[in-house]
A and B are shown apart, each in its own frame.
Chain A
């Protein structure tokens, strides 16, 4: 397993608020191999984005703290790095694409300026013309037409899809080993989405970075990912190769999620939904967190959290029913 670039072990990031502790990320573990795309799927508020920000160590203000766990990047725990060391790591070894291209770029600086800042870190001492040449090349790499003209433009002069490409170019300009993509296509038009996904795939093939792809869209998972981790109420409940998860989901939550994806074939009926609400992250149950919504719930599901069970090759699930069978 020497090609593991990122390993997350038992990560806990909680919000410490006056009215209580919100356990938004509560024991997340996964690993990411070189050149792999791992999907992180789950509904809103399950802790996907906070997991990503914990890895970047850019937690939102207002009481969020990572209190436990390890984030091993190339074998070293980056949670133990000083803020200054962490800045060296950000952008160069681990980087991130944000969700909303409309707000991800600074409106008062030109695209070239914002790209230059990122490139300068890698090319210390290079002349401005060299760096600008590289910035043009970076825009070309993300398939922006006429990059020489675009480089002097400001974000408001670009479309959403184009801005998201620029964000992508900025994120990968430091040639990171790991790229976190936090719902990068959610804010884009459907037609643009597909282009962007293809672009990410191509860039990944070119430089072999690993991608942690956060989404709530199973269609995107099928298109993009090698493996997928399903997150529910602050924990990963099932993880495995995409094909296996799609064909034989083990966890009832995964099954319900996949069943609720509208199908284009067959008769048009009512959409399948998952009854009930996820538990409050401030008051998590002792047992399985999905128990209150699960069709197969039994007494021991309510009493204790199920351990992680190996279902198949590289396929795990946190469920009592799975461990029983």
Chain B
């Protein structure tokens, strides 16, 4: 297990280097942030001066070398727009996103897993088809559209729920639904196919031979086995949630890292963008490692191997 974790950490470092390189050069392809920052009547001298202050004047490879050098020492730069260390800005906003993600994950599982089980039990029947329709809808509806639709219905027309910003529990409802819907579909589909496979196995037959009730056979013996592939998806889904948060938080004016990412892109705030992407990557890598360790607890074959 220790060797496994060490190997995964090494892979993570390699991956991070690649992410940092890509985000550095890709960001600079979008243009120069100076154009967005200066007033329209600024002189070319003002422009050159600002470029120099921001350190954007040297050859791009030199800039990259400076960025890497600082990053290795833990300095991810200062946000151009917010005049605050980029990492600090990220960690200021992170808790707001982390308050959203678990609920979306929970919503996805609470609806998706039982739906998947029910669909598998009624394979080919109308319940299966109904669940399949939910899955297709969940995947097909883009979250910016779903978010706006929800705001229109529940905030504008019905006036039941607030449409934006953080606040009490009612502020969470719409963003969580927007963020969690595609997960319902994902969890449903993977649970369904895993259940169908498990239900055919011999140990399920033996459980029935023992005279166990169908409830125990399905929800204990089958589901526990079917959850193994479901858990694999966790890592992927958390990654999706963080990227999904970019859209959802923008729609709902939610001050989390998703919206921070969006702002960094829009304002060409290169240091912030680099910091946000790198830190988000670390977050996703850490969660994936956590999932792999969690795996061992569900599947004794891994734990004791």
Contact = CB atoms under 8 A, between A and B. Distances in A.
Contacts of B207: 106, 117
Nearest to B300: A154
Interface residues of A, number: 32
B221 interface: yes
A294 B77 CA distance: 90
A90 B217 CA distance: 14
Contacts of A99: 202
A117 B299 contact: no
Nearest to A92: B211
A118 interface: yes
Contact of B211 (A91, A107, A154, A156): A91
| B202, B216, B225, B299 — most chain A CB neighbours (10 Å) | B202
Contacts of B200: 61
B201 A157 contact: no
Given A90-B211, A108-B224, A170 B206 contact: yes
A106 B209 contact: no
B212 interface: yes
Interface string A98-138: 11100111111110000001100100000000000000000
Given A106-B221, A108-B298, A91 B210 contact: yes
Interface string A76-100: 0000000000011111100110111
Contacts of B202: 98-100, 103-104
A271 to B, nearest CB: 32
Contacts, number: 81
B299 to A, nearest CB: 6
A154 B210 contact: no
Contacts of A91: 209-211
Contacts of A171: 206, 209
Contacts of B209: 56, 58, 90-91, 95-96, 98, 171
A54 to B, nearest CB: 14
Contacts of B208: 56, 58, 90
B170 to A, nearest CB: 40
Contacts of A317: none
25 contacts: A56-B208, A56-B209, A58-B208, A61-B200, A89-B211, A90-B208, A91-B209, A91-B211, A92-B211, A95-B209, A98-B205, A98-B209, A103-B201, A103-B203, A104-B202, A106-B203, A106-B206, A107-B203, A107-B299, A108-B225, A108-B228, A117-B210, A121-B210, A156-B300, A167-B206
